[in-house]
Amino acid sequence: MTAILVLVEHDGGAADDLSRQAATLARGYADAAGGALEAVLIGPGGADAAAGLGELGVAKAHVAEHDGLGQFAPQAWGRTIAGLVSRLAPAAVVAPGSERAAEVMAHAAAITDLPFAANCVSATPGDPASVTRVRWGGSLLEEARLHGGTKLLTVAAHTVEATPAATAATTEVASFTPDLADADLVARVVERAQTGAGGGISLADAKVVVSGGRGVGSAEGFAAIEELAGLLNGAVGCSRAVTIAGWRPHTDQVGQTGTKIAPEIYIPCGISGATQHMAGCKGAKRILAINTDPDAPMIANADYAVIGDLHEVVPAISAEIRKVRGT
């Protein structure tokens, strides 16, 4: 039976959200192709995470173990996937829509000389396979054909709902040691530095995100944004214009070239809603926009809107929350 491989990124002994989304698309591809869904997990904790993949319908998990994989090394990960492609000849390798996975799959494509389609929202097996991809920051969808013995693709973040399999599988876990050269480990993570004050909720995981744009006016103007985010147990984001101005670090940027978010509610304040920003927040369940311009693109894309000065509206919202809570 032909295998469909899904790259699973993991943290704390479990597959992350983007990997669960990728596994859902890969499972549909495998069902349509009459194949089995298998997974590849790389790095420490892979075996623990593999044990929980049965609910996603993963029949077999290939866990890569190697001394050089203690930290993220994109070419080494790409070489690991290329080795599995050579050994297993899967019909497709599907990866999540994270920055890391996109880099890894680019390496795998270069090593194997196979075609690679990024940011897919659907895929239908065949020779060639048919894929629908997000292009131009989400402003259009492209219908394309993907050739090659093994199709390589990533799933656009937050475009496929992660769902469990109709019938859970019993996942066979098989460890293997990839054949890596020293050159594969030249570029790797050697240290992680905490940015900002630390201890906050990450943009990628936050259920509530409050962002500020050029309309905030200054770095000091973000105090009101931070207060509201704190009251809502959320994270603070910003637009690209803000990072260019130096008011906030790039790690706070929401957008095509920043972090792609999928909170329960997104509150953009003073953000016009350029295409690249909308590409980063389109996964939000609800958008509450605060802007003085009723014709701003963000207002058109919002579920709820407050037309007004954020410097008056945001503190008023925070004050009302404090009043209701009696704090």
Q: What is the DSSP string of 23-82?
A: HHHHHHHHHHHT-EEEEEEESTTHHHHHTT-GGGT-SEEEEE--GGGSS--HHHHHHHHH
What DSSP designation does 140 have? E
d(CA 314, CA 245) in angstroms, rounded, equals 22
Residue 136's pLDDT is 76
The structure tokens listed for 50 are: 């593999």
> Residue 297, preceding bond cis, omega within 30 degrees?
no
Residue 162, burial from CB neighbour count under 10 angstroms (0-12, 13-18, 19+)? middle
Q: Which of 214, 297, 300, 306 is nearest to 267 (CA)?
A: 306
Q: How many CA atoms lie less than 13 Å away from 165 in the CB half-sphere?
A: 23
pLDDT in tens, 208-244: 999 999 999 999 999 999 999 999 999 999 999 999 9
For residue 167, give the 3-state DSSP assignment.
coil
Given a cut of 50, the residues of the chain with pLDDT beneath it are 197-198
Residue 3's pLDDT is 95
d(CA 162, CA 112) in angstroms, rounded, equals 29
Domains of the chain are: 3-185 (3.40.50.620), 208-325 (3.40.50.1220)
Q: Which of 140, 139, 96 is nearest to 118 (CA)?
A: 96
Sign of the torsion formed by the C-alpha atoms of 244, 249, 251 and 254: negative
Cβ(39)–Cβ(6) under 8 Å?
Answer: yes
The C-alpha torsion from 105 through 195 and 236 to 327, rounded to 10°, is: 140
d(CA 283, CA 206) in angstroms, rounded, equals 12
Cβ(273)–Cβ(301) under 8 Å?
Answer: yes
Residue 1's pLDDT is 62
d(CA 89, CA 108) in angstroms, rounded, equals 14
Residue 197's pLDDT is 46
Q: How many CA atoms lie less than 13 Å away from 252 in the CB half-sphere?
A: 29
Q: Which of 1, 78, 2 is nearest to 40 (CA)?
A: 78
Query: What does pTM read for this prediction?
Result: 0.82
Residue 57, burial from CB neighbour count under 10 angstroms (0-12, 13-18, 19+)? buried
Strand partners, 269: 212, 290
d(CA 127, CA 146) in angstroms, rounded, equals 8
What DSSP designation does 156 have? P
CA 22 to chain centre: 10
For the chain, the distance separating the N- and C-terminal CA atoms, rounded to the nearest angstrom, is 62
Residue 198's pLDDT is 45
